[in-house]
Amino acid sequence: MVATTDPHIEIRDLRVRYGTHEALAGVSLTIPRGVIFGIIGPANSGKTTLLKCINRTIEFVAGTQVSGQVLVDGTDVFDVRNVYELRRRVGMVFPLPVGLPLSVYENVAYAPRRAGIRDRSTLDEIVERSLRQAMLWDEVKDRLNLLGTRLSGGQQQRLTLARSLSLEPEILCLDEFSIAIDPVTTMKIEDILRELKHRTTIVLVTNLVQQARRLADHTAFFSASQLIEVGDTESVFTRPRQRLTERYVMGDLG
């Protein structure tokens, strides 16, 4: 596996506090372009916080203090004026399925419409492509007018995924995307992700250590708000440099 040297996201000394709780204690990390970058670690280790910083959804959490830099293509996201445009470039899938109270079609067309796409046939194409990529098309193609909230949990999760793919983001942040999806469908989506990574850098936060192992090109291990170890997935899993990493990937911890 050839790792590209072209950095897509550079995180420099990122510190995040929620009130008195320190969620990230100075993390520096480089995520190359065109890879799947896995982030693993026990609960409350700062994985999700890191993800939320990349498209600044961290700002929804009241009372958060952030310092440090998150550079996307060399530009600090915290200096970005047009945060809406940033969030269209950096897609995000949250762990709990959220079908917006709109039709399936409008759920997926939501972001493209906000981005100013009005042409019906273009929207049709985007909706079909995104739903196909999220492995949902066959199940909903005959009922695109159904209210998104009426799909099953797993379907809503894939709808969320389709929605985030609708604008072909250059970075896709997945936070536990497969938590509500059955294993067979998960495998199919993982295949799609492997294809997608050639034009979309994917940051994958997962509690399933094996998912990181089979999917990620690089893996970072977080524990207690710190980055413990990062490297290509193979060496992190087979030759971890840190004792903590070894215990975690072996399943002794967390």
Q: Which residues bind another protein (CB under 8 A)?
A: 55, 57, 60, 62, 84-88, 91-92, 94, 96, 98, 100-103, 110-111, 114-115, 145-147, 150, 160, 163-164, 167
Minimum CB–partner distance for residue 133 and another protein (Å): 16
* Residue 131: DSSP 8-state: H
Cβ distance to another protein smaller for residue 103 or 233: 103
Minimum CB–partner distance for residue 53 and another protein (Å): 13
Cβ distance to another protein smaller for residue 147 or 208: 147
Q: Is 77 exposed, middle or buried (0-12, 13-18, 19+ CB in 10 A)?
A: buried
Cβ distance to another protein smaller for residue 92 or 202: 92
Minimum CB–partner distance for residue 111 and another protein (Å): 4
Cβ distance to another protein smaller for residue 8 or 52: 52
Contacts by residues 180-188 (CB-CB < 8 Å, ≥ 24 positions apart)? 180/96, 180/97, 180/153, 180/154, 180/156, 181/154, 181/157, 182/154, 185/135, 185/154, 185/158, 186/211, 188/135
Minimum CB–partner distance for residue 21 and another protein (Å): 19
Asked if residue 19 lies in contact with residue 63, where contact means CB atoms within 8 angstroms, the answer is yes
